[in-house]
Structure 1
Amino acid sequence: MVATMARPTAIGSSAAPHDAAGSDSSKAFRFPPVHAFPPFYTLQPNPVSRSQQLSQWRTLILDFCRYHRIFTLAPLPTTDAPTGHGEAADPHKSLFANRAIQRSLSPEAIRTVLSDLVDHKQAAWDDASGKKNAGPAAANTNAKALIYWKTPAQWGDAIYDWVFATGQNKSIMTLFELSHGDLVQGQDFYELPTALLRAALKHLSTQGKAQIFAGTEAGDGEGVKFV
């Protein structure tokens, strides 16, 4: 089975790309040939084959999420799939499935793939309250995984660069303003999930570049002062 799994061109190759269904070929995400390979959707029992298969899934997921600006994935469909590119941006209809060959990953296989991303520190489990949950129990539920197509440190650096470029240093901003405010529209970190934003700000805090303030009983949201 090792030779069979190695047959498709490696992810990232420009040879014979497979486009997302229903999308303009000049703008669609370019799927690698392995996405059209039926065994790709069945987790391989051979340890060597499975390791290679999971590595390909990790690369594909990070590329897909970066392209569509997807921050979280779950084993089962959710209501927060991106709508900008229609069905092509829905991971459960295009990333984890290929209608052309009538193949898809099962929810159990998706959990395994997401757990593998977490194990490689390319994702982190996130429970409904927005707190990271790296425990094994998360893999047995429909818990979402925060996908690190940028790591929290990279998000923190991007936010800090924007803060200085726009003269926001020395000012206090709420977490809502940083992720949904008018000033940040068009930035990569626009609509960044709160759990991922907190991790990014924690990175800046450990570097002495930010001070994080808790919300108040009066209803004020969490805030951060950039220094």
Structure 2
Amino acid sequence: MSFSIEGKVALVTGANRGIGKAIVESLIAHGAKKVYLAVRNPETTLELSQRYGDKVLALQFDASDEQSFTALAEQAQDVELVVNNAGVLEPAAPLSDNAVKALEYEMTVNVYGLIHIAQKFAPILQEKSEAAFVQLNSVASIKNFTPFTTYSASKAAAYSITQGLKDEFAEKGIQVLSVHPGPIKTDMAAQAGFDEADPASSVSEGIVKALASGDFHLFPDSMAKMFESEYQSYATNIITADLSGE
């Protein structure tokens, strides 16, 4: 399967800054007809709205509120591409006092949020002649980083769910892309203490190319490509291989 951005309607969660904002910019640059900006505070999308006019439409969305997913899907029935970019990071090592609370928060947004948005948009996407679903995971989904153990755990769970979605969505004609950035120059990276990082455009432009190529994995930036070189054999022979025996 492959998916072209040209002329398509897309929805991006967490679209007001960082990687999400860069994704919006790349989608429009590559010919997207309209992009829904799913954000907690629509006022934070003012810059994008002023720049792109009626090519973007901000929708209020809270990834920690289950009811918000239903409302979002009801307002975006024409969507052909969903990019689930919204995510949270709460630094916590395994023995940190806040480890359990951090994991609960990260699981709510990073994992349960993924399931909710996939379930709500599956019926919409499967009705389209071309459709795709993009999940922003992380290199932390395949390697635990101790100061961010709970985040790594939530992203590992999200990556596992994404693999399941790949199989189920394939039957519905929906392409799935799992994106695994390393540190990217965003507020989240700064919070995690990464001063040197690749630009968000490395992710957004990588998504466009990976969708066109029909890839399942995308390792877009410098650190991620180091992971890819070591992980590729396992991913090809285990993750994306047909092990059903049929």
TM-score of the superposition, structure 2-length normalised? 0.27
TM-score of the superposition, structure 1-length normalised? 0.29
The structure, 1 or 2, with the larger RCO (C-alpha pairs under 8 Å, 6+ apart) is: 2
Could you say which structure has the larger radius of gyration? 1
* Structure with more of its chain in helix, by fraction: 2
